[in-house]
Chains A and B, each alone.
Chain A
Amino acid sequence: MLIAVLGMDQHEVGAVTAAQLLRDAGVEVIYLGRFQLPQHVVRTAVDENVDVVGLSAHSWEYRDYLPEVLDGLRAAGAAVPVVVGGSILTARDAAELARLGVAATFGSGSTPAQIIATIRALASAPAGGT
């Protein structure tokens, strides 16, 4: 999977922690890091043929960027599930993200087991399943 932080969001603790957690669980993680724009995420997702795109959110920028990522992936013909994680995400945010087409949301209440199980399930689902 791919993990990235969008725009000017400099907080990286969540993204690094999630990447490590998933690597420990045997998931191959491409960590794209901070200062990414939607087009960077889409390009890497397509070039690397990833199974899941993970976006870390510690600022509200994701709200504006997320539709661009989803549209970009669709336009590129890449039916890759997108997940969003971040301690700032509320239940209301999760509902809104689901409506937009996000496959899963992880907030501060998510456990490592939930995160790992969700990513594994998404990665093994047939392409186009979103």
Chain B
Amino acid sequence: MADRQDTPLATESGIPLAPVYRPGTPDESYRTRLGDPGEYPFTRGVRPPGAGRHAWIQRELSGEGDARRTNAQLRRLLAHGQTGLDVIGDAPTQAMVDPDHPYARHAVGTQGVSLCRHQDWLELYDDIPLDRLTLSHSLPPLMCVPNLVAVARARGIDPATIRGSVVQAPYFAEDNGYAVHMPFALRERMAVDTIAFTTEHMPRFHTFLEDTYFVSDGVLDAVEEMALGFVEIRGLVRQLLARGLDIDAFAPRIAILVNCSMDLFETVAKIRATRRLFARMLREEFGATDPRSWAVTIAAHTSGFSLTGQQPVNNVVRGTVQALALVLAGVQAMEVSAFDEAYRTPSPEAHLVGLRTQQIVALESGVGRVADPLGGAWYVEALTDDLEQRIAAMVRDIEAQGTPAELSDRGWFRAVFARGMERYGRALTDGSLPKVGVNCFTVPEAEDVLLREVSETTIAPDRERIDAIRRWRATRDASRVVDALAALRAVADDRAANLTPATAAAYEAGASQGEIAGVLRESYGWPADPLGQRATGAGAVP
């Protein structure tokens, strides 16, 4: 890739540029509210000026079929210039349900990759340079972390050198998104345990990646998205502190995966406000003293919900506008939702357009030359201030109503999501939210043909994978699996113990994700199979 990092900073016409622009004489207000990029309160970005030119991690959300098929998909994207990997599981994997579960039979490998065992992870990352890329995961953290450690060790790579992330949204997963059918206390524990484990063993890995994307898309507005995100961040930080961890041990690796909307300036202001709010919160409220603890890494995914089934080519434009917003806001990584996402799991063609969108914005537009290019604009600063105040006020309001556990248990979060779903539906149907090709400027269906063929091609469920897992179960050393699951149960019953090492041992002994999840549910008094199809967890090992 023709990277121009080493050329002098200038416009296309050769006008020299500074890496950042600021008031002639920065005053007290500038220093306290904005600061230079790389300086507290990080409103203008977490990296010093000049350090981040063209440098966000460019990746596309990947995963289909089994691990081998996804491995091929990842390699294709790397060959096209992708600079990081991002893997998402299929619906059963996300729900911690195995592919041979009766509920999974029509959903294996269609909306992501099917992963449930140690061997899958070896195949997923086969021959991929783990130590030279960032590996991002939209997968259950308690499967991701132990298996990533195991893959690194199998490849002779020190897990401490692995970079990347895994998403966390334990407070909201049950209500909107990937329900794992577990009680709040267990969901929170899986998050806290994996974060605590990687703080010690994988210090470069972001296990504390607060995922506000998936709880918000199509449901929450910018204020609600970030308020819920901060409620979860604050809750998990308090739990980690209660475990005796030092704030500066784990806070430098807190990151947020935010949503992007078509409202360009609101998205920019949201991200700037989030950085400032986070910095002040960590420093003033949680007493972090390491500047790296105050600077939050932000990654983003452009909104899949903003895309339309009608005239799919228009989604390329939507992806471009959102990618632009994210670069102007100064994110560290992004994925552009594929233009066919309204109908299907991304096609290779749509993946490539998403990646090319990022590359064109990065290399041709020059918008990333100067840090925080919108900083100082009256509109943007006023909107940033306003969003910060609104988000902070909503966080206070939520916390005044109860602890996250109480709010989750009494359906308070569920009600927020339900209201948002209803609100979006109404806005779309009454036309107050304009959607070109949907509620304005529509074309007859017969004329809506461009890119339709690729957009409508579906991925069949991977039924061979189901058979493969059934056969594999019978080949395992059953007593080894049963023993490892019994050991995990003992650890789970000790609420102060960390689940991660025993889970890693169970995977290595041949246990599957569904069996592990079953044992954990039983420890908390829930049925091993919440969907009522299987008798027990550990007891059912063939």
Contacts and interface: CB of A to CB of B under 8 A. Distances in A.
Contact of B110 (A35, A59, A65, A112): A59
B242 to A, nearest CB: 31
B161 interface: no
B106 A64 contact: yes
Contacts of A20: 422, 425
Contacts of A65: 106
A17 B421 contact: yes
Contacts of B106: 7, 60-61, 63-65
A35 B177 contact: no
B445 A13 contact: no
B365 interface: no
A8 B343 contact: no
B91 interface: yes
A17 B103 contact: no
Nearest to A63: B106
Contact of B445 (A34, A37, A88, A91): A91
Interface string A84-114: 0001101110000000000000011101100
Interface stretch (B13-21, B117-125, B197-205, B455-463): B455-463
- The secondary-structure label for the interface of chain A is loop
Contacts of B104: 7-8
Q: Which of B106, B110, B176, B445 is packed against the most chain A CB atoms within 10 Å?
A: B106
A118 B104 CA distance: 32
B91 A9 contact: yes
Interface string A45-66: 0000000000000011101110
Nearest to A40: B532
> For this complex, into which size category does the number of interface residues on chain A fall?
20 to 34
B183 to A, nearest CB: 17
A90 B425 contact: no
A91 B310 CA distance: 11
B63 interface: no
A29 to B, nearest CB: 13
Contact of B422 (A9, A17, A108, A109): A17
A59 B103 contact: no
B458 A60 contact: yes
A107 B309 contact: yes
B449 to A, nearest CB: 11
A16 interface: yes
A61 B463 CA distance: 13
A10 interface: yes
A21 interface: yes
Contacts of B152: none
Interface string B39-72: 0000000000000000000000000000000000
Contacts of B110: 59-61
A12 B309 contact: no
A111 B431 CA distance: 11
B343 A37 contact: no
A34 to B, nearest CB: 7
B255 to A, nearest CB: 24
B445 A10 contact: no
Given A13-B424, A20-B422, A109-B438, A61 B107 contact: yes
- The secondary-structure label for the interface of chain B is loop
Contacts of A87: 309, 342
A21 B96 CA distance: 33
Given A13-B219, A16-B418, A8 B97 contact: yes
A65 to B, nearest CB: 6
Contacts of A34: 179
Contacts of B429: 21, 111-112
Interface in B438-473: 438, 442, 445, 452, 456, 458-459, 461
Contact of B342 (A13, A35, A108): A108
Contacts of A112: 429
Interface string B295-325: 0000000000100111000000000000000
Interface string A1-12: 000000111101
Interface in B381-407: none
Contacts of B103: 7-8, 35, 37
B102 to A, nearest CB: 8
B116 to A, nearest CB: 13
A90 B91 contact: no
Contacts of A10: 91, 94-95, 177-179
B218 interface: yes
B344 interface: yes
Contacts of A8: 91-92, 95, 97, 103-104, 107
A56 to B, nearest CB: 12
Interface in A9-28: 9-10, 12-13, 16-17, 20-21
Contacts of B459: 60
A108 B310 CA distance: 8
A59 B422 CA distance: 20
Contacts of B445: 91, 109
A59 B218 contact: no
A90 B424 contact: no
A1 to B, nearest CB: 17
5 contacts: A10-B94, A16-B418, A59-B91, A108-B310, A108-B438
Given A20-B422, A35-B179, A64-B106, 19 more contacts: A8-B97, A10-B94, A10-B177, A10-B179, A13-B218, A13-B425, A16-B418, A34-B179, A59-B107, A59-B110, A60-B110, A60-B458, A60-B461, A87-B309, A88-B343, A90-B309, A90-B343, A108-B342, A108-B438
Interface of A: 7-10, 12-13, 16-17, 20-21, 34-35, 37, 59-61, 63-65, 87-88, 90-92, 107-109, 111-112
7 closest A-B pairs by beta carbon, nearest first, are A17-B425, A8-B91, A64-B106, A61-B106, A8-B107, A108-B309, A16-B421
